[in-house]
Chains A and B, each alone.
Chain A
Amino acid sequence: GQQLNQSPQSMFIQEGEDVSMNCTSSSIFNTWLWYKQDPGEGPVLLIALYKAGELTSNGRLTAQFGITRKDSFLNISASIPSDVGIYFCAGRSNDYKLSFGAGTTVTVRA
């Protein structure tokens, strides 16, 4: 599969903060997806983006499909403790296979 560069690798959040993470690729994708993995669970789909430039929200989450089709970002507004977990971006190209990023681990700042 294609290589996705996801950043940051990890972040510490304080309750109430807005946080942002992104994914870039050298390849073009037709679909960008964002998943969240809670501890001890499998990844769960948060947001799916199907069109370049598309901006989609799901509650406090907002994600955008980059105009170049090679990048996407995810914003979490007013973070709460249950936002901790690992967030994965994934891109789908014409062969229908998903390529995943390495994940962004979100932890609550003590």
Chain B
Amino acid sequence: EAGVTQFPSHSVIEKGQTVTLRCDPISGHDNLYWYRRVMGKEIKFLLHFVKESKQDESGMPNNRFLAERTGGTYSTLKVQPAELEDSGVYFCASSIGRINEKLFFGSGTQLSVL
């Protein structure tokens, strides 16, 4: 069974550009989460989808971040325009149920904004 896959694994962009990150959760997992880890800091919650609906987006930093999950399958996270402080590793995770300790994480996207 395929795990959570994220694309790209690395992205280097200039300040002001747009970047779109993609996450394919494990098939059948209704719950999809985005997290971010800035270098050396904690892994921070960004948002939570249940199928195609945003259950909780309280962790989204600002309106430059837009997440979608059309059709309740894969999800995208777009940053537009990117700022220097957006650099970090963006993790996607999925789970079957809402009690999310049985989270399966992807390998992450390392985003560097120069």
Interface residues of A (CB under 8 A from B): 1, 4, 6, 9, 31, 33, 40-45, 48, 88, 90, 92, 96-103
29 A-B pairs within 8 Å (CB atoms) are namely A1-B44, A1-B45, A1-B59, A33-B101, A40-B107, A41-B107, A42-B4, A42-B91, A42-B106, A42-B107, A43-B105, A44-B105, A45-B103, A48-B101, A88-B43, A90-B101, A92-B100, A96-B98, A96-B100, A98-B101, A99-B42, A99-B45, A100-B35, A100-B42, A100-B43, A101-B42, A102-B41, A102-B42, A103-B42
- Name the CB-closest residue of A to B102: A45
A91 to chain B, nearest CB (A): 10
Instruction: Using C-beta atoms within 8 Å of the partner chain, give the interface range for chain B.
Output: 20 to 34
Question: At the interface, yes or no: B93 with Cβ under 8 Å from chain A?
Answer: yes
Question: At the interface, yes or no: B2 with Cβ under 8 Å from chain A?
Answer: no
- Secondary structure at the B interface, as helix, strand, loop or mixed, is loop
- Secondary structure at the A interface, as helix, strand, loop or mixed, is strand
Chain B residues with CB under 8 Å of A1's CB are 44-45, 59
Among A9, A40, A43, the most chain B Cβ lie within 10 Å of the Cβ of A43
A26 to chain B, nearest CB (A): 15
Chain B residues with CB under 8 Å of A31's CB are 101
B76 to chain A, nearest CB (A): 18
